[in-house]
C-alpha cells in the first residue's frame, strides 16, 4: 500500500537534475526599463536643445523688462481707447436723455474716483534699501532688516490717505484708494508692472496735514528706527505744484472683506 506525501513537504531533488533557476527580483526587471527611459529622455532633451544649453537664452531680468514694456504699451492703448469712448459718450449725450443723465452722474464722481487729472501742492515720500552689506550686519539683524517691504510702502500710502490726500502717484502710476500694493522680494508689483527701489509715493493735498499723519503712523515710526540703526533710505519733501494724470485702471471691486 503506497504512502502519500504531505503537501507541505517538498519531494527530494534528484542530484543529477539541473538546479532550479532563482526567481527574478523586481529590480532585475526594472533596471533595463529605467535605463531605456532615461536614454530616451536624454535623446529628446538633446534634440529639443539642439545640442545647446537649455537655459542659455533665459535672461530673467530682460524677460521682466520686456513684460513691463508690453504692459506699459497696453496701458497707453487703454488710455487712448478710454478717451475715445468718453468723447463719443459726451458727443451722444445731448441726443439721448438717459445717456446724458448717466454722463452727468459719472462726471460728478470722476474726481472722487481719480478719473480726472489733478494738480496742486504735494508731499513726496521716498523709500529705498539700505546700503549696508549682508556680511557686515550685526548678529541681531538679518537681510530682511535692510530692505523695504510691502508693509512699509503700504504704511506710507495709508497714512497719506488718512492725512487727506486728494490724489496719489506711486512711481509713475496714478493710484486710487483700492489700488493693490504688493511686493515680491525687494520688487514692487503695481497694476501689472514691476519696480525696484527707490519707491516714490507722491500725494496731492494739504501737505502739513499729510506730514503729521505720516509722522504719527506707528508702522512708519518703527521703520524710522531701522533708518537710524541700519541706514534704510527715507526722504520726505514738499512740492509746490505737482500734476497727476487721470487714473485709467478699473474702479470696480472684484471682492472685499470687512476687517474686524
Asked if residue 174 has pLDDT above 70, the reply is yes
Q: What is the pLDDT of residue 191?
A: 84
pTM for this prediction: 0.63
Beta carbons of 186 and 147 less than 8 angstroms apart: yes
Asked if residue 42 has pLDDT above 90, the reply is no
Phi, then psi, of 53 in degrees rounded to 5: -70, 125
Residue-averaged pLDDT of the chain: 76
Tell me the pairing of strands 199-204 and 167-170.
antiparallel
Confidence class for position 20, pLDDT limits 50, 70, 90? very low
In angstroms, the CA 128 to CA 231 distance is 10
Q: What is the pLDDT of residue 158?
A: 96
Asked if residue 224 has pLDDT above 50, the reply is yes
Taking alpha carbons only, the member of 150, 129, 121 closest to residue 208 is 121
Over residues 187-214, mean pLDDT: 94
Beta-carbon contacts of 154 under 8 Å, excluding residues fewer than 6 positions away, are 181
Confidence class for position 1, pLDDT limits 50, 70, 90? very low
Asked if residue 49 has pLDDT above 50, the reply is no
Q: Which residue has the cell 535623446?
A: 43
In angstroms, the CA 216 to CA 222 distance is 11
Percent residues over pLDDT 70 in the chain: 55
Asked if residue 9 has pLDDT above 90, the reply is no
More confident call, 191 vs 23: 191
- Does 204 sit behind a cis peptide bond, omega within 30 degrees of 0 on the bond before it? no
Cα atoms in the 13 Å half-sphere on the side-chain side of 9:
5
Confidence class for position 163, pLDDT limits 50, 70, 90? very high
Over residues 45-53, mean pLDDT: 49
Asked if residue 92 has pLDDT above 70, the reply is no
Domain range 117-244, CATH architecture:
2-Layer Sandwich (3.30)
C-alpha to C-alpha distances, 68 to 28, 119, 190, nearest whole angstrom: 54, 27, 11
For the chain, the domains span: 60-110, 117-244
**Percent of residues in the chain assigned helix, strand, coil, to nearest 5:** 45, 20, 35
Q: How many CB atoms lie within 10 A of CB 107?
A: 14
Confidence class for position 179, pLDDT limits 50, 70, 90? confident
Q: What is the pLDDT of residue 99?
A: 66
Over residues 101-106, mean pLDDT: 68
Q: Tell me how many degrees the CA angle 215-239-161 measures, rounded to the nearest 5.
A: 45
User: Could you give the strand order of the β-sheet that contains 199-204, starting from the edge strand earlier in sequence?
Assistant: 173-175, 167-170, 199-204, 118-128, 233-244
Over residues 116-128, mean pLDDT: 96
What sign has the CA pseudo-torsion 247, 252, 257, 259? positive
Amino acid at each position: 500500500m503506497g504512502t502519500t506525501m504531505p503537501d507541505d513537504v517538498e519531494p527530494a531533488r534528484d542530484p543529477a537534475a539541473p538546479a532550479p533557476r532563482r526567481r527574478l527580483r523586481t529590480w532585475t526587471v526594472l533596471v533595463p526599463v529605467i535605463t531605456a527611459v532615461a536614454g530616451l529622455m536624454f535623446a529628446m532633451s538633446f534634440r529639443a536643445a539642439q545640442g545647446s544649453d537649455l537655459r542659455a537664452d533665459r535672461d530673467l531680468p530682460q524677460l521682466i523688462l520686456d513684460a513691463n514694456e508690453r504692459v506699459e504699451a497696453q496701458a497707453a492703448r487703454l488710455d487712448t481707447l478710454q478717451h475715445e469712448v468718453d468723447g463719443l459718450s459726451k458727443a451722444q449725450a445731448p441726443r439721448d436723455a438717459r445717456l446724458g443723465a448717466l454722463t452727468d452722474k459719472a462726471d460728478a464722481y470722476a474726481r472722487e474716483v481719480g478719473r480726472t487729472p489733478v494738480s496742486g501742492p504735494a508731499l513726496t515720500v521716498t523709500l529705498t534699501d539700505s546700503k549696508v552689506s549682508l556680511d557686515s550686519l550685526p548678529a541681531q539683524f538679518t537681510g530682511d532688516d535692510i530692505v523695504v517691504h510691502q508693509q512699509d510702502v503700504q504704511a506710507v500710502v495709508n497714512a497719506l490717505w488718512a492725512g487727506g490726500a486728494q490724489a496719489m502717484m506711486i512711481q509713475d502710476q496714478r493710484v486710487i484708494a483700492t489700488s493693490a500694493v504688493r511686493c515680491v522680494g525687494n520688487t514692487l508689483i503695481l497694476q501689472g508692472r514691476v519696480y525696484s527701489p527707490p519707491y516714490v509715493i507722491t500725494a496731492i493735498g494739504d501737505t502739513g496735514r499729510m506730514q503729521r499723519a505720516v509722522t504719527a503712523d506707528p508702522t512708519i515710526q518703527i521703520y524710522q528706527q531701522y533708518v537710524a540703526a541700519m541706514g534704510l533710505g527715507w526722504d520726505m519733501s514738499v512740492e509746490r505744484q505737482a500734476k497727476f494724470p487721470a487714473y485709467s485702471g478699473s474702479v470696480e471691486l472684484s471682492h472685499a472683506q470687512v476687517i474686524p
